[in-house]
């Protein structure tokens, strides 16, 4: 097995490098444009200043047209120099996921929020039998953190950690933070990782196309390479985040 396959993550140069995920040893392709589009500076200022605000929204199953209608409405407050470029960029990510998965509807989660400690390392799920490649894009601020597959002790260790952390996170919310110290310790030294493992961070301005897990296999002893283990950052300012995942089964391929 190559070092690349063991890490499970590769850099892409263009959105259609999502096709690299046909290799089952890969869990994520990180696509970063060669140059930072200038409208992202204005976007960052607007998000930090609260001028561009998107309430946490889940669009359970949307077509490209549905999404375009939602985005026109939701981004009316965005600066004029940002709005159209942002809508195009988001729609491009949806289109890429749909095309790769051969589907017409995706689930979209989008929000502007500062990071919290609510969610730690996890894998994202898709409905039963849906294709498993989705995407995350952080438009400003602290980016997503992830680990290489070869640094993970095993799926059982990972799910043991996840179950424990989810319990603690609920407890911390209920008891107004009494469990917070333990949560911080779990985040600083995740028990499912080999000693001295590096936690990696997605570079700014990148879209990550990554492997989700069919919800029926979540918590099962599947290979580590079947899903990308990642987490949101734990602190920092408000960020605009877009998540896209398949919401339906793939169409059958036609003849020829
Ligand atoms: Fe996630």
CB neighbour class for 67 (10 Å; exposed up to 12, middle 13-18, buried from 19): buried
Ligand 1: distance of its center to the CA of 138 in Å? 12
Determine the distance separating the centroid of ligand 1 and the alpha carbon of 99, expressed in angstroms. Answer: 21
**207 near 11, Cβ under 8 Å?**
no
Residue 124 CA to ligand 1 center (angstroms) comes to: 5
Rounded distance from Cα 27 to ligand 1 centre (Å): 13
Residue-wise pLDDT tens digits, 133-169 = 999 999 999 999 999 999 999 999 999 999 999 999 9
SS (H, E, C) the chain: CCHHHHHCEEEECCHHHHHHHHCCCCCEEEECCCCCCCHHHHHHHHHHHCCCCCCCEEEEEECHHHHHHHHHHHCCCCCHHHHHHHHHHHHHHHHHHHHHHCCCCEEEEEEEECCCCCCCCECCEECCCCCCEEEEEECCCCCCEECCHHHECCHHHHHHHHHHHHHHHHHHHHCCCCCHHHHHHHHHCCCCECCCCCCEECCCCCEEEEECEEHHHCCCCCCHHHCCCEECCCCCCCEEEEEEEECCCCCCCCCC
Say how many Å lie between the CA of residue 189 and the centre of ligand 1: 19
Residue, of 16 and 1, whose pLDDT is higher: 16
**What pTM, to 2 d.p., does this model score?**
0.94
Residue 78 CA, ligand 1 centroid: distance in Å: 25
Question: What is the pLDDT confidence band of residue 4, given thresholds at 50, 70 and 90?
Answer: low
pLDDT in tens, 5-50: 668 999 998 888 999 999 999 999 999 998 999 999 999 999 999 9
Helix axes 180-188, 155-174, angle to 10 degrees: 150
The pLDDT of residue 5 is 60
pLDDT tens digit string along 105-119?
999 999 999 998 888
Dist. CA 206 → ligand 1 center (Å): 15
User: From the CA of 256, how far away is ligand 1's center (Å)?
Assistant: 36
Burial, 187: exposed, middle or buried (Cβ in 10 Å; 0-12, 13-18, 19+)? middle
CA distance 15 to 147: 22
- Ligand 1 center to 119 CA (angstroms): 9
What spacing in Å lies between the alpha carbon of 120 and ligand 1's midpoint? 9
d(CA 163, CA 121): 11
């Amino acid at each position: 097995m190559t070092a690349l396959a063991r890490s499970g993550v590769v850099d892409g140069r263009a959105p259609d490098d999502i096709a690299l995920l046909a290799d089952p040893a890969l869990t994520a392709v990180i696509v970063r444009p060669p140059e930072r589009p200038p409208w992202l500076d204005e976007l960052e200022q607007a998000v930090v200043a609260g001028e561009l605000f998107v309430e946490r929204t889940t669009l359970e199953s949307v077509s490209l047209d549905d999404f375009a209608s939602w985005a026109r409405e939701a981004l009316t407050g965005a600066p004029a120099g940002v709005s159209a470029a942002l809508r195009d960029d988001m729609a491009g990510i949806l289109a890429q996921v749909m095309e790769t998965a051969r589907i017409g509807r995706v689930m979209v989660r989008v929000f502007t929020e500062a990071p919290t400690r609510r969610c730690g390392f996890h894998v994202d799920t898709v409905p039963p039998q849906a294709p498993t490649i989705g995407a995350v894009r952080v438009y400003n601020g602290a980016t997503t953190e992830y680990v290489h597959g070869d640094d993970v002790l095993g799926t059982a260790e990972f799910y043991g950690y996840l179950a424990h952390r989810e319990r603690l996170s609920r407890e911390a919310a209920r008891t107004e933070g009494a469990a917070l110290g333990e949560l911080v310790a779990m985040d600083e030294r995740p028990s499912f990782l080999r000693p001295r493992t590096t936690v990696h961070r997605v570079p700014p301005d990148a879209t990550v196309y990554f492997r989700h897990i069919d919800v029926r296999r979540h918590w099962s002893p599947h290979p580590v390479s079947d899903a990308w283990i990642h987490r949101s950052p734990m602190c920092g300012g408000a960020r605009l985040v877009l998540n896209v995942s398949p919401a339906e089964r793939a169409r059958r391929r036609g003849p020829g």
